[in-house]
Amino acid sequence: MRTTLTLDPDVAQLLKEEAHRRRKAFKDVVNDAIRRGLAPQRQRAPKPYRVRPHKARLLPGFDSAAFNRLADELDDEALIAKATAAR
């Protein structure tokens, strides 16, 4: 089908450059661009997230349970400070 199309100068320049780069006819580049623009967007499946584990050991003298206790104590202190400030 033959039709007349008015392009903005910057769009026309981009199409000319693409036609030159791909060594294709101007009309083929225009048709390809319109097809890509009007095609339904395909959902690309995201790359699966991969965890790369490594050996992590606590140094001697560190107790992993103590870290949890410390976190609990800090939470308790913050909660008490918040409650007393509200009074």
From first to last of its 87 residues, the chain has per-residue pLDDT tens of 888 989 999 999 999 999 999 999 999 999 999 998 888 777 677 888 888 888 877 777 777 777 788 888 899 999 999 888 877
Q: Report, in angstroms and rounded to the nearest whole number, the Rg of the chain calculated over CA atoms.
A: 32
Q: In terms of Cα–Cα distance, which of 7, 29, 3 is closest to 17?
A: 29
Phi/psi for 39 (5° steps) reads: -65, 145
Instruction: State the pLDDT at residue 17.
Output: 96
Contact 19, 25 (CB under 8 A): yes
Q: Could you give the CA distance from residue 22 to residue 33 in angstroms, rounded to a whole number?
A: 13
